[in-house]
Amino acid sequence: MNKRSMRILGFYQVQNMLVRLAPSRLSKEIARRLRPVNDSEVIERNLTDTEEAVRCMQTETSTPFGGIVDIRPSLEKAKREVTLDSHECIDIWNNLQHYGEIRSFFADRGAEYPQLAEQADVIGDFSQLSHSFATVFDNNRQIRDNASPELMRLRSRIVELERQTKRYVNNVLQNKEYQKYFQDALVTVRNNRYVIPIKQEYRHAFPGIVHDTSASGSTLYVEPLAIVNANNDLQAARIGETKEIERIFRRLTAKVQQQYNDLYDSTKCVGQLEFAFAKAQLALKMKACRPAVSKTREIKLIQARHPLIDAKHVVPNTIVIGGDYRILLITGSNTGGKTVSMKTLGLLVLMHQAGLFIPVGESSELPVFRDVFSDIGDEQDISQNLSTFSSHMKQLIYILKHCGPDDLILADELGSGTDPAEGSAIAIAILDAFYQKGSYVMVTTHYNDLKNYAYNTPGIENGHVEFDMETLKPTYKLRIGSAGSSHAFSISERLGMPKDILEKAKDLRSKAQDMDMEKVLTQLNAQAKKMDEEQAELEYRLREARKLEDDLRKEKDKVTSKRQDIIDASRRDAVDLKRNLRVEAEKIIRELKAQSKEGTDREKAKAIDKARRAIQQISLPEAEKPQRDPIDLSKLKVGQQVFVNNLDSVGTVEDIGSKQLTVSVRGMTVRVKFKDVSAPYLDELKKEKQAEKKAAAASSYRPIRTSSVATELNIIGKTFSEALPEVERFLDQALAAGFSPVKIIHGKGSGALRRQIHAFLDDQPFVKKYQLDDVDGGGAGVTLVYF
């Protein structure tokens, strides 16, 4: 990728932001080496790393990164059999613990972050090596006394010798003969040997070896002759301890050397994973996302923001190049944002091809470019006698020689720095050459000839940056589809140009041939801006209407739910009311029986039965059920699944009669009318299938069905005592099968059998209610029983 473009467009500044976010020296090195590439597979892989890391940071409460040390120098020492010191061993041990945490983290989340988990598989299992370090160091990273049997023996001896030496010193300090020699009656250490502070004037009177003096020279630190041998023994033990620790470190170094390759690969892998999460941090900081790869090689950056401009001040712009045009010509006022728009495009392309997310809208697309060329800024070189125009031409000639159909070219102020007529001609010729090469181009200019060229040439589109004529300030908004004016007079006026000079300039400009074009451009741009504002207003109103629709839908659901709650509460109240009415009615009937002295027994019984029947026929509001699709009887066949309305279950048709169906429901057979079945829903069929599988998995035993369970019983012509066993058996089977309601056909006759059946039903706790069927179903000759 062109290094000059990377420098001009600001890629290295973005890279420095990434370096600062990288947590370790290793990941910082990777960030410093980051460069855009043009291999689409590599780009996709790098972007997927970033995407999974972003998702991980947004989903997981914590990630196992941080605290990693660059142990590569230590690994190289171990490879050369140079003994590692304590700090190097501890660094390796710390890394091994972190490696294990990272490895386990991604092993448990392979489905959520497959590409990162695949990379984490490279991390080796160093549990044995980590255990070896743990036997040497404790949790405070100090060498254990029991790191080896010899070290334990030596440290025990050192403790004993220190105790013995201190006892000898204390004996000297307590000797009354020496009291006047002591500067302080305390024990101190010099050169790893126990000494006593002696006054300078008694240096020859006190027998011992001088090891040090105080800063003032008034105190000598003397080792008494009486403890020289004890100090010698203690020093020898300490030297032995140092040698034993070196031997332990040589043993650890050898184990590290044996796993050098795995350790080195794991260290690099962890660095790459840390780098992926640094890219994720940068993406979240920029509120960036991953653009789609354009299959039509069209640049479509929605609401693109320059990542190096403060988010509080940056103006988002939509940049589209491709399709009907591959060259976008940007015009407009100075300091209006032309160059920023161009740099935004170039920098975002470089970031995308470096595997970084870019600050754009979700529906953005970018193709992969072979290279990005840029000619932006004044690069005149006095040492090489290059003027502004010459430096531009030198760079453009280089681009013309090296560009191709898969390249992006950014050129600022094309053809400027020389005679406008000649500059325009050269600029048009260069644009035509770029078009012939098939490159994607974005250029800025102030030349009207180039605006006309873009209007009249297929494959080239005009664009402009807005300028607010009321405030005389640019808005930094990019508009594609029309050219813009430079607004030199307005800007000069705002900057304080004298009015007489401006009036003279305007008068001269009004005589120019292309003045009419400037007026037309101004009018067109004003109209375009007004249309954009109207479109924005319409989009706002549409969003508000959709929001209102959602709110109304939610409110409707709440009202429906509340209405159902009210109906259910009313139903419960009605049941209680009916129960109380029934109790009161029976009380009245008993009183009528006791008090009535007139009329025959037949007339009294008839009045009582009429009152009871009126009470039983009190109806309760039923729960609302959704309207279901009816079954097409002409296409109904045996084996088809249907929904039995009364049973609220799915069943399978076993037989089709002239008026009824025989349906198998959960292993039981029932007979139902055609009107009592409807078409089942897809989710009901799925639930039924899952229930059958669950039942099959729970047990392989299935009882043999020996009889069918009916939904109606005919007892016409029988006495109550003859019918009672059949009624009891019928109700038990129906209740066990979950059928409700069922029919008892007792006929009309005198009504005696009906009354006795009703009296029996009153005493059954499992009967919710009963009532006479409608006229079509049998009227007073049939009782419907609900469980």
Q: In this predicted model, what pLDDT tens digit does every residue of 346-405 receive, in sequence order?
A: 999 999 999 999 999 988 999 999 999 998 875 544 444 456 777 788 888 999 999 998
pLDDT at residue number 13: 94
Q: In this predicted model, what pLDDT tens digit does every residue of 261-301 receive, in sequence order?
A: 999 999 999 999 999 999 999 999 999 999 998 888 899 99
Q: Is the Cβ–Cβ distance between 407 and 433 less than 8 Å?
A: no
Ranked by mean pLDDT, which of 137-151, 442-456, 674-688 comes out on top?
Answer: 137-151
User: What average pLDDT does range 591-607 have in this prediction?
Assistant: 60
Lowest mean pLDDT: which of 538-542, 708-712, 783-787? 708-712
The three-state DSSP-derived secondary structure of 607-623 is: HHHHHHHHHHCCCCCCC
Percent of the chain scoring above 70 in pLDDT? 83
Q: What does R_g of the chain's alpha carbons equal in angstroms?
A: 48
C-alpha to C-alpha distances, 272 to 18, 23, 29, 123, 267, nearest whole angstrom:
13, 11, 10, 11, 9
The three-state DSSP-derived secondary structure of 451-502 is: HHHHHHCCEEEEEEEEEECCCCEEEEEEEECCCCCCCHHHHHHHCCCCHHHH
**Cα torsion 92, 97, 101, 107: sign:** positive
pLDDT at residue number 742: 86
Question: Is pTM, for the whole model, over 0.75?
Answer: no
Spatial CA neighbour of 607 closest among 593, 625, 621: 593
Annotated binding site for ATP: 332-339
331 or 491, greater pLDDT:
331
Tokens of 321: 């190049």
pLDDT band at 512 (very low <50, low <70, confident <90, very high): low
pLDDT band at 781 (very low <50, low <70, confident <90, very high): confident
Please tell me what DSSP assigns to residue 410: E
**Cα torsion 58, 362, 375, 382: sign:** negative
172 or 436, greater pLDDT:
436
Q: In this predicted model, what pLDDT tens digit does every residue of 106-119 receive, in sequence order?
A: 998 888 999 999 99
Percent of the chain scoring above 90 in pLDDT? 29
Place of tokens 């039923």: 622
pLDDT at residue number 779: 82
Cα separation, 36 vs 373, whole angstroms: 13
The three-state DSSP-derived secondary structure of 137-168 is: ECCCCCECCCCCHHHHHHHHHHHHHHHHHHHH
- Count CA atoms within 13 Å of residue 743 on its CB side: 22
pLDDT at residue number 102: 92
pLDDT at residue number 381: 46
- Count CA atoms within 13 Å of residue 421 on its CB side: 0
Q: Is the Cβ–Cβ distance between 397 and 339 less than 8 Å?
A: no
Lowest mean pLDDT: which of 142-151, 240-249, 706-715, 762-771? 706-715
C-alpha to C-alpha distances, 386 to 111, 389, 427, 729, nearest whole angstrom:
59, 8, 19, 112
User: What average pLDDT does range 515-537 have in this prediction?
Assistant: 61
Cα separation, 389 vs 423, whole angstroms: 9
